[in-house]
Amino acid sequence: GTVPRTITRYRDICAEEMASPQDWSVQDVLDWLDKALSSGSFNGHVETYKHFFASHFIDGASLLELTPDMIRKMGIHAVGHALGIARLISELKSGGGSGITVRRSSLIRTELPEGLILCMGNPLLDISAEVSEAFLQKYEVKPNDAILCEDKHKPVYVELEKNFAVSYIAGGSTQNTARIISWMLQKKNVVRYMGGVGKDDYAKRLKESAVSEGVDVHYMEIDEIPTGTCAVLITGSNRSLIANLSAANHYKVDHLLLPENQKIMEQARFYYMAGFFLTVSPPSIQLVAKHAAAHNKVFSMNLSAPFISQFFDGPLLDALPYVDYLFGNESEAEAFADRQAWENLSIGEIALKISRMPKVNTQRDRIVIITQGSSDTIVAGRGEIRQYPIVLVPKEKIVDTNGAGDAFAGGFLSQILLGRPVEDAVHAGHYCASMVIQRSGCTHPPKPEFK
């Protein structure tokens, strides 16, 4: 059983922990089929049926919901076989299963179809350059500031391009995470992304940058509003940000409702959105979230910033019942707790309380992941709290911590897509964050070395 509010150190968790069917990965289900169908009338059909299950990404939670009719629609047309598999699943649900047990598998899902995950957010073209302190003072920007663009800041983007050696990066929180997922998986077009851009050169650069990193973008192009940009002003080890959302702030659910984009949404099995998107298109979030819950797919979000919980708590609380994985950091968790009038709770207790909030799709538990900078990462769910030590990076090697949270979410989700357990996902998140903070911006080496 699980012990509420008990801290369990990762190093004390047995790597061969027995997983319940609800928690099985796709590979665990295939292992179970190997054993469950090993005799009788299924002989000669096991590999074919395993292929059907794998191609439909049937994990443990999905397995337990299968009916004979659903099994036949997967391609197992023999009525007797469909009924036989349904009977075995029923035994598994009742705690039987003919004595068959499956241990948590470490085998990676090898088939990653295009569009497996859909990410939606606010796309911004990061325009990055090294500038002087005088340049910051000219635009009334402080070192390490992160501000929204006002009229006095608007000339900064043109001046950067005219007078400095700039680099262009496909940015915005969700798009950063999408790029990291793609980098970790090293396969193009597994990740699809939607958001609002203008019809201008910045949009072309944004698309070129994202596509070059394997992300399949489907932007909503908006007339007469420029593409969102973020001036990244580097002064030594400091990095100041001036964000101009522009077209990103005008994304509409009408774009998602287009037949071609509905197909993209329906093809995906996983979804991710940063909390910043709550300020732009709550109807889009609700559409995707409800689809995910109705079809037992995985829906993930990020708290993103304290102001989201403080000023957009309505849309956030509307979305939360659909969230399977929720990311955040300690200040964001505290802001959420303050807004809910939860008092005298530790970060772990806040995460656990969020994990227990009402949920629409009860076939999946909510897992809440809270990073804490250089302190252990908290993971809460299924009635318990766990802590995972981070990958320590020497202080002198840290260049920029701004993209660490986006990178962590990308690394984490890359392993969830592969069917790996949460423990592996946390380690991948730590790895990605440790890589990104040693570079300027949310960038990465050519290839990951995560094992």
Distance, CA of 29 to CA of 178 (rounded, Å): 27
Distance, CA of 374 to CA of 382 (rounded, Å): 25
Distance, CA of 215 to CA of 234 (rounded, Å): 26
In the set 31, 216, 400, 406, the catalytic residue is 406
413: left (phi over 0), alpha (psi -120 to 50) or beta: alpha
Distance, CA of 53 to CA of 425 (rounded, Å): 23
Asked if 405 contacts 332 with a C-beta cutoff of 8 angstroms, the reply is no
Tell me if residue 406 is catalytic.
Answer: yes
Distance, CA of 432 to CA of 409 (rounded, Å): 9
Tell me which DSSP letter residue 229 carries.
E
Residues whose CB falls within 8 Å of the CB of residue 426, separated by 6 or more in sequence, listed in order: 10, 369, 377, 379, 388, 412
Residues whose CB falls within 8 Å of the CB of residue 429, separated by 6 or more in sequence, listed in order: 369, 371, 377, 407, 408, 409, 410, 411, 412
**For residues 340-358, b (16+ Cβ closer than 10 Å) or e, as one string?**
beeeeeebbbbbbbbbbee
The catalytic site residues sit at: 406
